[in-house]
């Protein structure tokens, strides 16, 4: 099993999830999550992406009924600092995801506000490529959660972890360990407050699962 850990800072000027931490209702439906990962060749393009997210994408998603969008960037000491932008989008159902795609295509306010990003010159694109990872929440944590901290948002640390399994069956068993096996409870006991746990349905490096934990600051 291959494990990947990425430490992130939330980009608080744009958007941030605002759920309270705690166990969700037992009968809660499993949410779906999209993680967009933008790769930048030129760190200066961060300003273009920030403007697009703040003035076009996030307002359009709010109009479409999707809230609590998180925007994250690697911490400064990371080699990917300035070269990656992560956008986390929660959906209540898989149907909502496809419905929103259609809604955005018809949203003229969105297309106009995001024109600099959406229709940039071919020889000066705002990013090299982007990946979209679509996930389904684990049954034992069907809804995303974020703890409340007194520390400023720009001091909080988020760790995005990825577990790649050798086979489909091994991936199923690993997910079972998190759910029925109680691994999520262990993380909770040691203070690794989870934002989400999810199985990757569409995206690269399958089969794999992903989850995010958060801490008040770097010292934590």
Kindly list the distances between the CA atom of residue 29 and the CA atoms of 6, 91, 121, 170, in Å, as whole numbers in the listed order: 28, 11, 42, 25
Average pLDDT, the chain: 87
Q: How far is CA 101 from the centre of its chain?
A: 17
Share of the chain above pLDDT 90, in %: 65
Per residue in 74-132, pLDDT (tens digit) is 887 766 677 899 999 999 999 999 999 999 999 999 999 999 999 999 999 999 999 99
Domain boundaries, the chain: 2-215
Closest CA to 196 of 138, 132, 155: 138
Q: How far is Cα 107 from Cα 179, in angstroms, rounded to an integer?
A: 39
Q: How far is Cα 182 from Cα 166, in angstroms, rounded to an integer?
A: 22
Per residue in 2-32, pLDDT (tens digit) is 766 666 665 544 454 544 334 444 557 999 9
Q: How far is Cα 201 from Cα 35, in angstroms, rounded to an integer?
A: 12
Q: How far is Cα 36 from Cα 104, in angstroms, rounded to an integer?
A: 16
Please state which CATH class domain 2-215 belongs to: alpha beta
Tell me the pTM: 0.87
Which pLDDT value is given to residue 10?
A: 55
Closest CA to 34 of 142, 132, 107: 132
């Amino acid at each position: 099993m291959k494990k990947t850990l990425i430490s992130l800072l939330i980009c608080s000027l744009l958007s941030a999830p605002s759920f309270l931490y705690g166990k969700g209702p037992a009968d809660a439906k499993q949410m779906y999550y999209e993680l967009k990962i933008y790769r930048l060749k030129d760190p200066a393009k961060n300003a273009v992406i920030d403007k697009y997210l703040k003035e076009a994408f996030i307002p359009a998603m709010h109009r479409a009924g999707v809230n609590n969008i998180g925007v994250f960037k690697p911490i400064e000491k990371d080699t990917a600092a300035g070269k990656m932008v992560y956008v986390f989008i929660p959906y209540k159902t898989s149907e909502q995801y496809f419905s929103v795609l259609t809604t955005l295509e018809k949203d003229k306010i969105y297309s106009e506000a995001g024109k600099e990003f959406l229709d940039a010159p071919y020889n000066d694109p705002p990013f090299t490529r982007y990946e979209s990872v679509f996930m389904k929440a684990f049954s034992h944590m069907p809804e995303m959660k974020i703890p409340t901290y007194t520390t400023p948002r720009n001091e909080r640390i988020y760790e995005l972890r990825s577990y790649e399994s050798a086979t489909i069956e091994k991936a199923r068993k690993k997910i079972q360990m998190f759910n029925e096996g109680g691994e999520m409870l262990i993380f909770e006991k040691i203070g690794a407050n989870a934002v989400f746990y999810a199985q990757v349905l569409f995206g690269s490096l399958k089969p794999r699962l992903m989850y995010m934990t958060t801490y008040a600051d770097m010292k934590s």
